[in-house]
Structure 1
């Protein structure tokens, strides 16, 4: 078993709390992505698991064993760093072998075979005799991953391993990382600030903010049912629209009222209380031009202030009172700055957050099957 359990895990640097009392449990063999802005504590969490940072308080278990005080080499974890951390005077093969003698009882022949097996998985057998200066960024990353694979660890830790690659190579390497994960079947924690990477790679995604875990869920559930305003605005590109509204109740019905629109919220009985205000949320792709919808029951107008052609769609920045609303319209729509457009919102995709940023309403009930991995949305 290679599951990881963090209970009250905390890391402080003098008067700065980098990781603040987090509880998180991985499943054996899971690919868990940790995502969040710079400084949120995701890399520090990874380094505590690896044993590269001491734990201020809390408990860390790997495979059911408490490892708080174990040396890194005794934890049977392997880490891939953002900067590759390859020795420039060593060949690819030598880099992959480095340290194997100190953490295992393998013979030279066994280590050589492991290196060859890892090279075959990564499709780099022709690169083993080259030094890092003779390799491209993608090839160096493969060697760094190979160095982790040869150890056959219980846990793989990857700290933003693709951030130094160009956009096209990052897409290619994402697919290869998933294939490698399936072949080695080890628990993997992957740290990134790129929410697209997190959504496409993770069986589940943990969103961190300011040392706290905001939400842990499969990608689609995270996208469809954000538990906080932070998650709603961080996950998805463009981000979810969030606008202040008053909530006007009449019996069991409630309307979200903004300076420029009024929308009836379906299934109002799902509210736990009857607040009189909130933050209304709707993703840009869930807002449509009325002229492109067969039947729109709730509509309002907005003035276009900016247009951004994205190829597959046209992103409109619209003015609604003092707020801005982003709308994904159909590609090649003939809309200009200054046009007043009539809009409608998908009633199954309404969200409301309270003043503290906690989700208090989703118009579409969350299904029990959300724990199953599903295909992430196109971002």
Structure 2
């Protein structure tokens, strides 16, 4: 079993807490992605697991064994770095096997077999005799991953391995990494600042901020049911719309009241604790819908003015003002909407969220996790 368990893991640099009491379990054979903004502690956490940094407090267990004070070579891990860390004077094969004979009991023949197998898996068999300067960025990254594969570790650690690649190659390498994990079933912790990588690669995603874990969940659950306002605003491109409201009690139930709209809260009518509270209302851009002309008399629809129009090919992103706030709205790419137009909008009833503006905690989701929201209708 190659589980990883972090308990109250802490790392201080003088008075700065880079990692601040993290509790995190990585399951056997799981692909866990750690994501967050720059400086949130994600790479430091990975280096603590690898043994490249000493923990200030807390424990690290790999496969049930406490390795908190163990050197890296005793942890049965392999790490892939952001900058590849290839020796320029060595061939790809030499880079993949450097140091193996001094730290393992494998014979030269066994090491050659491992290199051949890893190269075949990664599609770099014909590149083994080349030095790094004769390789593309994607090929260098494959060699760096191959160096980890030949060791057949219990745990793979990857620190932003795709960040130096161009956009097209990143998409290709994401698919390759996902396929590789399915073939190897090795416990993997992958650090990135790119939420697209996080959502597409991870079995689960851990969101970090200020050295603490904000939420750990499967990608879709993280997207649909953010635990707090930070996760709601960080996950998603563009991020969730967040605007201030006051919850009021109306004859039809509770209403989120904003200067630009008054929208009922489904199934929220019995939650008297929300009444008259100033909260943060959240809705994702794809869940803000264009309302038809027949909706003008409905309480749920409201007017907004289009200030920016961004054609993105597969969709059209509209920036709209409501009162002093802005809503971003995703619609079909060929909708006849221009900058300066006044349009009518409404919200998908099942995809509304409320957050406490002081703590940031989520206190209301229109859909429950047991009964996920229905698909958003196309616009």
Shared fold (TM-score greater than 0.5)?
yes
What secondary structure sits across from 1:47 in the alignment?
helix
1:26 aligns with 2:29: no
Spell out, residue by residue over 1:146-200, the C-alpha distance to the aligned partner (whole angstroms, 9 max, x if none).
Answer: 0000000000000000000000000000000011111111100000000000000
Task: Show the counterpart of 1:287.
Answer: 288
| Contact persistence 1:271–1:360 (CA under 8 A) | no
Task: Show the counterpart of 1:374.
Answer: none
Structure 2 residue corresponding to 1:330, chosen from 329, 332, 336: 332
Spell out, residue by residue over 1:184-224, the C-alpha distance to the aligned partner (whole angstroms, 9 max, x if none).
Answer: 11100000000000000000000000101110000000000
Give the TM-score, by structure 1 length.
0.94
Spell out, residue by residue over 1:78-122, the C-alpha distance to the aligned partner (whole angstroms, 9 max, x if none).
Answer: 000000000001000000001212331000110110010000000
Matches within 5 A, 1:147-162: 147-162=147-162
1:268 aligns with 2:268: yes
What secondary structure sits across from 1:82 in the alignment?
coil
Residues 272 and 24 of structure 1: is their aligned pair in 2 closer, same or farther, counting only changes over 3 Å? farther
Give the TM-score, by structure 2 length.
0.94
Q: Which moved more, 1:274-283 or 1:14-23?
A: 274-283
What secondary structure sits across from 2:273 in the alignment?
coil
Please list every run of 5 or more consecutive structure 1 residues that lacks an aligned counterpart in the other structure: 371-379
Residues 367 and 270 of structure 1: is their aligned pair in 2 closer, same or farther, counting only changes over 3 Å? farther
Residues 94 and 270 of structure 1: is their aligned pair in 2 closer, same or farther, counting only changes over 3 Å? farther
CA RMSD in angstroms, aligned pairs only: 1.9
Please list every run of 5 or more consecutive structure 2 residues that lacks an aligned counterpart in the other structure: 374-379
1:259 aligns with 2:259: yes
Residues 3 and 272 of structure 1: is their aligned pair in 2 closer, same or farther, counting only changes over 3 Å? farther
Task: Show the counterpart of 1:366.
Answer: 369
Q: Which moved more, 1:254-263 or 1:361-370?
A: 361-370
Task: Show the counterpart of 2:85.
Answer: 85
Residues 67 and 270 of structure 1: is their aligned pair in 2 closer, same or farther, counting only changes over 3 Å? farther
What secondary structure sits across from 1:8 in the alignment?
strand
Distance 1:292 1:281 in 2: 25
Q: How many residues align?
A: 370
Note the C-alpha offset of 1:312: 1.4
| Contact persistence 2:314–2:333 (CA under 8 A) | yes
Matches within 5 A, 1:291-306: 291=292, 298-306=300-308
Matches within 5 A, 1:61-72: 61-72=61-72
Note the C-alpha offset of 1:252: 8.8
Distance 2:39 2:232 in 1: 19
